[in-house]
Structure 1
């Protein structure tokens, strides 16, 4: 198996390799960090409806994620270089669950796969430019750590915090490595043909903290000649004297086609609200999410999740006209003297789904249970375990019952 370094990444490494030794090299090394994360993933999805095309899919795999993060040169324009390498081995698999590269011709998952890359960093005052591999968490482009190897974008991003309480960001992503791939590919709209791709995703955004407990955000993104997207959101935390915290998260997306509209019409507006109340380790919450317009909420190739939508789960609840609500409960057992142990449960119901002219409306639901534990001390300190169970039901689709067991450990060399 060959790890492919894109030409841009090779150029960044060469430029950085020339620049870094000139001045301030000691700071680059002294402030650096090297870590290796081991991730073992077991996934088993059983389809429970009689008409399902297959009875089950799943996989068992072992992943390795090596990350080098440099410091910066001691120069007016500080320079740094981050390196990354990811590799995974298939231990067992049944069918295609979207976690590993899958050959439709051979009808089997790849034995192994990997990727590697670099990120050149430039820093001036409180402004940082990153060129190369990125793992963003923005409304217009987000990472996907849900399976074995996560999503990596390649692009150029500038983020500035020079103005108090204001974070400004902007840039362009020109390629993506999806969770089940080794290769960088151009961006396109999920659910369409990869020949209908884009020159890149351009975006700008701003987040302003009006108070320490209240912030507002706006983002605008354009997947050129495919779709454009606007997002506005507000997050607020209300603290009570007796230890209660009420958190509010509300937002709105407006999606429509851009330019040549290579992937066809895009007409989707989504708004949502999430309220959570926290006290002594307990969390209870409720959310509402509404889709309007004639098309599904647009996402990027690789089925990258939209983490800003509160009802995105195993099912995304983003189909045309869909109304969905959820109730959730979580508990941090540190409040009972068991630090590192956490529970999260959730039930989501979606209704009024438009399946097209002349077809009856669809509905769907999902129940999630998630239990995680991180060892707090001893030889196995920081070893993490996560158990998930997701059960879905739809009126016209395929129902499934899925279990995931994830074990992680990060070895920090320095």
Structure 2
């Protein structure tokens, strides 16, 4: 247990240590945590002409974060700051790049890398403005938590929940620090170069719960001088009786170039639908996605994810003209009296890809995870992911990822 003097010492490093009621909640509601992540990845290429037979690494990550409460003032103020760092335990030039560790100019992975983050936050009533480090999870921009260090963005985001059942979000992002980088850079499209960077991403959107079973979202995004994008999503849950519930997700994107078109033509329209049938610990899913237009669905540099796509995964299934589908099964072992243990298995397939030739790709994924629910190791997590990918014209590989996680809560 850390006393108030230690909290004050931590806060003093950011120049905010004072007495009085205005600052009391800033300290009393603060949290200091250290996230530990031991991560192993191995990708075994199966095709005969692979540049390398295997890639991968083993690393240890540390994520120290201080999150303040808010001052007891009419406009409340808070501050979040921290640092994340990763150290390579195993893996060399012969197994790099692996999608996890940054690479030196000679092609070898770095021994360690890290970055700092800071964000000021202002709150009035149920509206909050956050300026600095961002980890958005929105249809038009999302971070990636699937490797060692997460994707971080730099910008300003405003979120308001003043109206019951309505969430309004708006913001501007001007930088990104990818999962394989220590440095922030401007936003541009995956596959392009920094010379084609945008000045920033502007976005606004609304999510409204029409009923407890039906919600809808609309977002607009403008990556300045590259593209403008519209998103529409609907989610519905329907009790079917007998303990069955059917969830339906429908999502649509329309993206085209704008302004100076620094990335050239952007012509993509995407729609997808996902049905999930649940009873007890069982969930059965089936999804379909279609890419329309002449171009691939755009994603940001450092392969920042687009998880709101119905069929987003290791492959992405975002190529021009692609029709893709998936079948999925999830089981929550809490139904058998083992809370914290979950398993997911999924098959995805894409056809009719138009890249000057017709193509075909498949991916199977299995994820087994467990989080300790009580005792001295409460919160300790283990996650094993197995991925098998086959793309007709380019590659076949088998990938395994193992992550062990634990969070130390200092206060």
- The alignment's TM-score, normalised by the length of structure 2, stands at 0.94
- SS across alignment from 2:195: coil
TM-fit CA distance, 1:372: 0.5
* Cα shift readout 1:166-221 (whole Å, capped 9, x = no counterpart): 11010100101000001111111110011110110000010011011211000001
Q: CA deviation at 1:300?
A: 0.5
8 Å CA contact retained: 2:251, 2:310: no
Change in Cα spacing, 1:175 to 1:19, as seen in structure 2 (3 Å) is farther
Alpha-carbon displacement from aligned partner over 1:40-66 (angstroms, at most 9, x marks no partner):
110000000112121111110100111
Offset, 1:163:
0.9
In structure 2, C-alpha distance between the alignment counterparts of 1:237 and 1:142, rounded to whole Å = 24
Question: Helix, strand or coil for the counterpart of 2:334?
Answer: helix
Alpha-carbon separation, structure 2, partners of 1:378 and 1:158? 39
Alignment of 1:327-342 (within 5 A): 327-342=327-342
1:207-243 superposed Cα distances (whole Å, 9 cap, x missing partner):
0110112110000011100111110000111123422
Q: Is the counterpart of residue 364 in structure 1 residue 351 in structure 2?
A: no
Unaligned runs of 5+ in 1: 1-12
What is aligned with 2:251?
Answer: 251
Q: Residue by residue, what CA displacement relative to the aligned partner does 1:229-286 show, whole Å, maximum 9, x if unpaired?
A: 1100001111234221111100100111110001111001100000001111001000
Equivalent position of 1:402 in the other structure: 399
Contact in 1 for aligned 2:311/2:325 (Cα 8 Å): yes
Equivalent pair of 1:272/1:309 in contact (CA under 8 Å): yes
Contact 1:20-1:80 at 8 Å conserved across structures: no
**How much does 1:17 deviate?**
4.2
Cα distance in 1 between the residues matched to 2:136 and 2:19? 29
Contact 2:33 2:410 in 1 (8 A): yes
How big is the alpha-carbon RMSD for the aligned residues of Structure 1 and Structure 2? 1.5
Written as runs of structure 1 = structure 2, the 5 A alignment for 1:279-294 is 279-294=279-294
Aligned residue for 1:9? none
Give 2:35's match in structure 1, choosing from 8, 15, 37: 37
Structure 2 residue 103 is the aligned partner of structure 1 residue 102: yes
Q: Does 1:267 align with 2:233?
A: no
Choose from 358, 381, 384 the match for 2:381: 384
Structure 2 gaps of 5+ residues are: 1-10
The answer on whether the counterparts of 1:171 and 1:204 sit within 8 Å (CA) in structure 2 is: yes
Q: How many residues of Structure 1 are paired with residues of Structure 2 in the alignment?
A: 397
1:95 and 1:175 map into 2 onto residues whose CA distance is 26
Measured in 1, the distance between the counterparts of 2:149 and 2:75 equals 33
Which residue in the other structure is 2:144 paired with?
144
TM-score, length basis structure 1 = 0.94
Match of 1:5 in 2: none
Give distance in 1, aligned partners of 2:66 and 2:238.
39
Could you tell me how far apart the structure 1 residues matched to 2:29 and 2:271 are?
A: 43
Match of residue 237 from structure 2: 237
- Aligned ranges 1:80-91 → 2 under 5 Å: 80-91=78-89
* Aligned partners of 2:44 and 2:397 also within 8 Å: yes
How far did residue 155 of structure 1 move? 0.5
Q: Tell me the equivalent position of 1:413.
A: 410
Q: Distance in 2 between matches of 1:253 and 1:161?
A: 25
Rounded to whole Å, the distance in 2 between the matches of 1:206 and 1:342 is 32
2:46 matched to 1:48? Answer: yes
CA contact (8 A) 1:20 1:73 kept: no
**CA positional deviation for 1:22:** 7.8
State how far apart, in whole Å, the 1-side matches of 2:162 and 2:374 are: 39
Preserved CA contact (<8 Å) 1:284 1:329: yes
- 2:238 & 2:70 partners in 1: Cα distance? 38
Q: Indicate conservation of the 8 Å contact 1:33/1:413, yes or no.
A: yes
Q: In 2, distance between residues paired with 1:321 and 1:383?
A: 43
